[in-house]
Structure formats: structure tokens, C-alpha cells
Amino acid sequence: MLTVFGSVAIDTIRTPNKVLKGVLGGAATFASISASYFVKPGLIAVAGSDFPKKYHRILSRYLDLQGLTINEGKTFHYDGKYDETLSTRTTLKTELNVLRNFKPKVPEVYKKSEFVYLANNDPDQNSAIIKEFDKVKFSMCDTIEFWIANKKSSVIKMIKAVDAVVINDEEAKLLTKEHNLIKCAKKIMNWGVKYVVIKKGEHGSLLFYDDVIFPSVAFSLEDIVDPTGAGDSFAGAMIGYLASKKTVNLSTIKKAIIYGNILGSFSVEQYGLAGLLNIKKSDISKRIKQYEKMVRF
Amino acid sequence: MLTVFGSVAIDTIRTPNKVLKGVLGGAATFASISASYFVKPGLIAVAGSDFPKKYHRILSRYLDLQGLTINEGKTFHYDGKYDETLSTRTTLKTELNVLRNFKPKVPEVYKKSEFVYLANNDPDQNSAIIKEFDKVKFSMCDTIEFWIANKKSSVIKMIKAVDAVVINDEEAKLLTKEHNLIKCAKKIMNWGVKYVVIKKGEHGSLLFYDDVIFPSVAFSLEDIVDPTGAGDSFAGAMIGYLASKKTVNLSTIKKAIIYGNILGSFSVEQYGLAGLLNIKKSDISKRIKQYEKMVRF
């Protein structure tokens, strides 16, 4: 099975055309729901006693929630504002609330997970929790600027402990102090991780493995309304696809990345989580075919 | 045949690791030499009486120079400085010199050219000169921020007069006042041009034709020393390849773009024009094969 550990949030998202208040968000929400189109993931996360029943129902439609803890207090709250090009987001508020003292606990049935995705949590927490899974075939983590700036050595330790890291281009540069993304990836691989995936937003991504580079374009979209969660959806689809295939090699990882691009494209077409809900399997395979046709030459 | 109209320059290029003074440059220099790996282009350009013999010899090795005028005065001089990431270039000096009052003249033998590339010249000049070619099968132009800012309606008129436009992403946004590159391209196509190619530097390019989008990645390189002329090399290889095939359709244009990516990659690996000189045909076909392997999934 696949376990996803990360944040569930109640977000305020300010886009040029619409402000969303109190919407369901969080890296693990996007990643696990995206993964759910391939396997049924287990979610390890915490929400507060204010977490709306309707959000709980949404999660329960896609996920196994044995690992979801509800603690007294308010759910983690993020408030961010996009510029008019949707390319830069400014954080207005980050209220950790119940996330602050959360001690994640891995349900017994999750411990046999062969696939584990660690979202952009505290790297020390990620490093600790990965040890609780004793049958891991493929583990993957993400990280964000906050941890690179504040706990860089812990980030490096976490990267050593997993099979793959997915990371934004700007964060990869910040982490490695290199400008060229190939140099960034080589440095990260030298820390002991097998696969590095650098996410470049609308420009797609780069996969690195040994001396192989696999660049892939994003699925071209004319109408993007809200980029929130695109990277998490990308990563979730990647590991969800791999978990469904049960085989991890260069070929399945490349395909997993294409699925990542596709689910990422669904997520940005609608506001908040909406683009990632109620996707039909046939919508995904149709878009995969469009993608294959689009890049052919 | 293929005719290239554009600037020949003597450049000062300041990169983080090396400053090049008085080197051979110019949009038409890069574009036509890049194209010369596919056909022998004719060059329409002007240089000053200071133009070094050794630079003339370089041009004459690759190009037909019946269209090169030498006028009294100094050659067009550009001086620019890259930031340490090589992603932003600041113009320190632009001395038009002999370019200022240059009246381009199309040699009789060039007038039968079926392929014409108009580099980032004054759009009025480009619009006028294209009329002198009466057997054009495929014409393509580029433009730059300076013309968009100062002669926008002339730029639009020029775009109407050609079959394809190649343009940087930032310039496409500036020209159309759109943020999304698909919206940019649609607006440009609505002005009456068939093909739009938006160049995204290290992120590759997007081709638009009717309702087709063809995104392609750049050839991944770890050691980029000087991006000068990469976009011109891209465009030159594109039209050079098409001229060699004599057939222009979506399929050959897609392949032309891949050749554009490859020649662009050679150009940035060495300083100034050096990366674009003395390339073997086998080097090109080897890199094409690497590219095809790289993007396969």
C-alpha cells in the first residue's frame, strides 16, 4: 500500500480573480487525493476540532483515514496571495495550530506500506517516521524553503533516508547553492538519494537518475486559475502510479512523471482542490493520450 | 536558397567568468552560421570599415557574402553583461554606427530565395525587404523588446507579412499584454501569422499552429558559459533545416525546432561564436539521437 504523511490545512487562497476562504488544502490533501486515482492511500495527518465534517467526508471518499488524528484546537491555516501572473505567491499567514505539537503515529496496518510519500514536513519528523516502515520499496520526500533556510542539515539527512526527492527549481538552487539544475541534482544525488525530480511549474520537470536526465514538459493549459497544490498533485500522482505498478525502475518512473504532469494540470484548472476531485479514469487516460500526441515529433 | 537579413556586430560580452572584447557577434551572424549546417545561406548585413579581416574570413567560410555591405565607419557594437546565474543580461552600450543609416539591398540572385529569415531588425525594414523576394515559400522573423516598446504597430504589421514568428517568452508577453503563453500565441496568430514559436531559453520552446501546441524541452547541459546568440542559433537552425527539406508542414517544423534546440545547445557551450563554429555533421546527428533518447518515455 501507499502511505502519505503531510499536512491537512484550511486555506485562504487569494488569486487575481477570486479569493477562497476556509477551503480544504494542505500538501498531503493534494498529494494523497491525486495518488488515489491509482491506489487507495493511507493518510497520516492531523486536523483540529474545527475541521468541517464536509471536508472529512471529502477525504474519506478518496483515502484511508486511520492515520488522521483529530486534536483539540484549530486546524493548520495557511493564507497566501498570488500576483496577477499567478507565478509568485506571497505568504500572508501561517498558523500551525494543531500541527505545532503533532506527534505523527503510524497505524499498524500502514507499517507494511511499500510506498511512502513524505510531504514537506519538518525534515526531522520525516526522517524519524520513515524508519517505522519496514517493507519500503520506494520512498519519496518533498521539502520547502522554510526547512532549507532553518534546518538545512536535517533536510540533507532526510534526503539520504529516501529513494527519491521532489523539489522546486528555486528550492533546489537554494539548497545546493548552484545555479544550473544539473549541478543541483548531482549535488543532491551525491548526498545519497537515487532519484531527484526538479519541478519547474509551467515548464515541466527534470528527472535525474545516475547519469540519466529526463526532462518533460508540462501539459499546456490556456486557463490556469489557481496553481495551489500543483506540485503536491504532481508528486502524489507519481508515487500513486508507481504504487499501482509495484515496479520501480527508470521506465516506470518516467511514466509516473508523465502522470504527475497530467494530475498537476487537472489541479490548476479549478480553484482550490476542486480540479482534483471527481476526475474520471477516462479523463486521465484521455489527457495522457493528448500529452503523448502533443510532444511527438 | 535561404537568405538571412540581420545584424553583424562587434560585441563586448561580460560573463561571470570571462569578459570578451571585440568579438564577432550579431543576430544574423549566429542565425546564418547556424543555418549553414543545413544549406549555404546568403547574408544581407552591413559592417564598418573597421571590420577585421579575420571575421570576414569566418563569415565567408559559412556564408554567401554577396549581400554583405562594408560601409565607411564603425561596425555595430553591443556591450552587455550577464548576472552570475547567466539568466539576465543588462545592456551597457548599443552603438548602431554603420547600422544607423543602412539601406539593405537584396542582391539579384537572392531574390529567388524560397526561405527568408528576418532577424530582430527594425520591423519597418523587415516588412519592406520581404516584398523584394517573389518566390518565398517560408519566411520567419524575430523581434526584440526595443521594437515592441517603440514601434509596436510596425511589429504587428511585420508579423502579418511572414509565415512564422520566433519570439522570447517575455517579449511575447510584452507584445500581447497576456500572461499565459497560449493566450499570447493565439493573439499573435490572430494578427495573421501561421506559426508562432515562443522561445523559453533553458526551458525550451513552444510551437503554435492552428490549434496545435508543440512544446519541446531544451537539450540539457551542465556547463553553459555564454548564452549569447542561443535564440538566434535556434532560429537559424530551424529555417536552415526547413530550407534543406524544401517542405514546410507541421511535421518538418517540429523537426526543425528540435534542430533549433540542438544548435542552440552548441552555441552556449563556448564563449561568443566559438560553440557554433566547426561543428561536424556527425556531432549534430549524435546530439539529435541523444535528444530523442533523452525525451523518450
Per residue in B226-260, pLDDT (tens digit) is 999 999 999 999 999 999 998 999 999 999 999 99
List of residues 6+ apart from A282 with CB closer than 8 A: none
Q: Which amino acid is at B213?
A: I
Q: What are phi and psi of A128, to 5 degrees?
A: -75, -45
Cβ of residue A294 closer than 8 Å to a chain B Cβ: yes
Comparing CA positions, the residue from B115, B253, B231 lying closest to residue B172 is B231
What is the mean pLDDT of the segment spanning B184-200?
98
DSSP type of residue B128: H
Q: What is the mean pLDDT of chain B?
A: 97
Distance from CA of A212 to the nearest CA of B (A): 8
- Chain B CB contacts of A294 under 8 Å are 213-215
Q: Please identify every stretch of chain A with a pLDDT value under 70, giving residue numbers as ranges.
A: none
3-class SS string, chain A: CEEEECCCEEEEEECCCCEEEEEEECHHHHHHHHHCCCCCCEEEEEEECCCCHHHHHHHHHHCECCCEEEECCCCCEEEEEECCCCCCEEEEEEECHHHCCCCCCCCHHHHHCCEEEECCCCHHHHHHHHCCCCCCCEEEEECCHHHHHHCHHHHHHHHHCCCEEEEEHHHHHHHHCCCCHHHHHHHHHHCCCCEEEEECHHHCEEEEECCEEEEECCCCCCCCCCCCCHHHHHHHHHHHHHHHHCCCCHHHHHHHHHHHHHHHHHHHCCCCCHHHCCCCHHHHHHHHHHHHHHHCC
**Cβ-based contacts of A258 with chain B (< 8 Å):** 297
Does the ipTM surpass 0.90? yes
**B220 interfacial to chain A (CB closer than 8 Å):** yes
Best of B197, B219, B262, B297 to disrupt the A interface by mutation (most A CBs within 10 Å)? Answer: B297
Q: B203 in contact with A at a CB cutoff of 8 Å? A: yes
The residue ranges of every structural domain in chain B are: 2-295
- Pairing of the two strands B19-25 and B9-14: antiparallel
Nearest CA in chain B to A201: B203
Residues of A with Cβ-Cβ distance to B179 under 8 angstroms: 84-87
Amino acid at B112: K
Average pLDDT of span B157-170: 98
Out of A180, A203, A258, the one facing B203 most closely (by C-beta) is A203
Across the interface, whether the CB atoms of B180 and A222 are under 8 A apart is answered: yes
Interface A-B, measured as beta-carbon pairs within 8 A, has a size of: 75
**In Å, how far are A111, A139, A229, B224, B287 from A65, measured between CA atoms?**
14, 20, 20, 48, 50
Burial of residue B214 (number of CB atoms within 10 Å: 0-12, 13-18, 19+) = buried
State CA A89 to chain mean position distance: 17
pLDDT score for B68: 98
Q: What was the pLDDT predicted at A195? A: 98
- Closest chain A residue to B256 measured between Cα atoms? A297
Give the gap in angstroms from C-alpha B185 to the nearest C-alpha of chain A: 10
Window A:43-72, CB contacts with B under 8 Å: none
The answer to whether the CB atoms of B215 and A294 lie below 8 A apart is: yes
Cell of residue B205, nine digits: 520552446
Residues B264-294 have pLDDT tens digits of 999 999 999 999 999 999 999 999 999 999 9
Find which of A220, A290, A293 to mutate to test the B interface (most B CBs within 10 Å of its CB): A220
Residue B213's Cβ-count burial label (10 Å; 0-12, 13-18, 19+) is: buried
Residue B227 has a pLDDT of 97
Give yes or no for a contact between B41 and B150, defined as CB atoms under 8 angstroms apart.
Answer: no
Name the residue of chain B whose CA is nearest to A225's CA. B180
Distance, in angstroms, between A288 CA and closest chain B CA? 12
User: Which residue, chain included where needed, has cell 527508470?
Assistant: A250
Instruction: Please indicate if any CB of chain B lies within 8 Å of the CB of A222.
Output: yes
pLDDT at B210: 97
Question: What are the residues whose beta carbons fall under 8 Å from the beta carbon of A51, sequence distance 6 or more?
Answer: A8, A10, A70, A75
The closest CB to that of B183, out of A200, A222, A255, belongs to A222
For chain B, say whether A218 makes contact (Cβ under 8 Å).
Answer: yes
Q: Which residues contact B169 (CB under 8 A, 6 or more apart)?
A: B181, B198, B199, B200, B201
Which chain A residues touch B183 with a CB distance below 8 Å? 222
Q: Do B297 and A255 touch (CB under 8 A)?
A: yes
Q: Shortest CB distance from B85 goes to which of A179, A214, A251?
A: A179
- Comparing CA positions, the residue from B89, B80, B95 lying closest to residue B12 is B80
**How far is it, in rounded angstroms, from Cα A35 to Cα A261?**
13
Q: Which of A87, A215, A294 shows the shortest C-beta gap to B294?
A: A215
Helix H or strand E encompassing B80: strand B77-82
Cα distance from A219 to chain B (closest Cα, Å)? Answer: 9
Dist CA B166 CA B120 (whole Å): 10
The C-alpha of B179 sits at a distance from chain A's nearest C-alpha, in angstroms, of: 6
What the block records as the C-alpha cell of B65 is 557574402
- Model pLDDT, residue B133: 98
| pLDDT value for A127 | 98
Candidate from B180, B200, B251 with C-beta closest to A203:
B200
pLDDT tens sequence across A209-256: 999 999 999 999 999 999 999 999 999 999 999 999 989 999 999 999
* Tens-place pLDDT, residues B82-109: 999 999 999 999 999 999 999 999 999 9
State the CATH class of domain A2-295: alpha beta
Cell numbers describing residue B166: 520566433
> Do the Cβ atoms of B294 and A214 come within 8 Å?
yes
Torsion of CA B39, B43, B47, B51, to 10 degrees: 20
| Phi/psi of residue A271, nearest 5 degrees | -75, 145
**The pLDDT of residue B236:** 98
What percent of chain B is predicted at pLDDT more than 70?
Answer: 100
Q: Read off the pTM.
A: 0.96
Instruction: Name the percent of chain A lying above pLDDT 90.
Output: 100
CB A3 within 8 A of CB A106: yes
Could you tell me which of A44, A158, A58, A62 has the C-alpha nearest to residue A110? A44
B215 near A CB under 8 A: yes
Q: Helices marked H in chain B — which ranges?
A: 27-35, 53-62, 123-130, 145-150, 152-160, 169-176, 181-190, 230-245, 250-268, 281-295
Candidates A215, A217, A255; nearest CB to B220: A215
b vs e for A183-203, b when ≥16 Cβ sit within 10 Å of the residue's Cβ? Answer: bbbbebbebebebbbbbbbbb
